[in-house]
Amino acid sequence: MQDQNVLASYSNGIVVRKTLMPDVKYIAPRLRKADLRELKANSLAKPDIALMTSVWLSNPCYTICVYGEPIGLFGLCPQKDVGVVWMMGTDKVLQIKHTFLKASKEWLNYLLELKPVLFNFIHEKNTLHIKWLRWLGFSIISKKENFGINGETFYEFVRIKNNV
């Protein structure tokens, strides 16, 4: 019997499904160092509370699992005509990088159907995600110094749906 929450299945036990609240408790203490640094620079909330808030504000919100283990969360927080897109994960995302990269383009196209303008801010030291965002077609549109609770540097990024 297939799990009703599973939305997509890939090779090697990789699935994307609707997020369940236990996913947050599992992923929060296992976040990549860069994701944890970004959360701490942007909020006083503990990682599990910050992630829980992102999940609550998102519509939709999804979990990436490998053989049932949650390894990443991503979602879209709708704001009128635009969406705030986000993703946080564990180091295990790197173990599925080829499938992750291919699937991330598919999921980005889906999110762009929901909101044709996607944006957010990323910590300047989160270089791997910056490279990934550029690969996905996002543009860095501004540098925000003294951003967040610690006054660190973030970049604002945006992707606009192509109507070709």
Alpha-carbon span 24 to 15, nearest angstrom: 16
pLDDT at position 6, please? 82
pTM score = 0.92
Q: What is the 3-state secondary structure (H, E, C) of 58-123?
A: CCCEEEEEECCEEEEEEEEEEECCEEEEEEEEEHHHHHHHHHHHHHHHHHHHHHHHHCCEEEEEEE
pLDDT at position 1, please? 35
Tens place of pLDDT per residue across the chain (164 aa) = 356 688 899 998 999 999 999 999 999 999 999 999 999 998 888 999 999 999 999 999 999 999 999 999 999 999 999 999 999 999 999 999 999 999 999 999 999 999 999 999 999 999 999 999 999 999 999 999 999 888 999 999 999 998 64
Structural domains for the chain: 6-160 (3.40.630.30)
- pLDDT digit string (tens) for 9-44? 999 899 999 999 999 999 999 999 999 999 999 888
Strand partners, 17: 6, 63
Residue position matching structure tokens 């910590």: 123
Other beta carbons within 10 Å of 100: 19
- Answer whether 93's CB lies under 8 Å from 64's CB: yes
The H-or-E segment that residue 9 falls in is: strand 6-9
- pLDDT digit string (tens) for 70-82? 999 999 999 999 9
Pick the closest to residue 113 from 56, 67, 159, 46 (CA basis).
159
pLDDT at position 164, please? 42
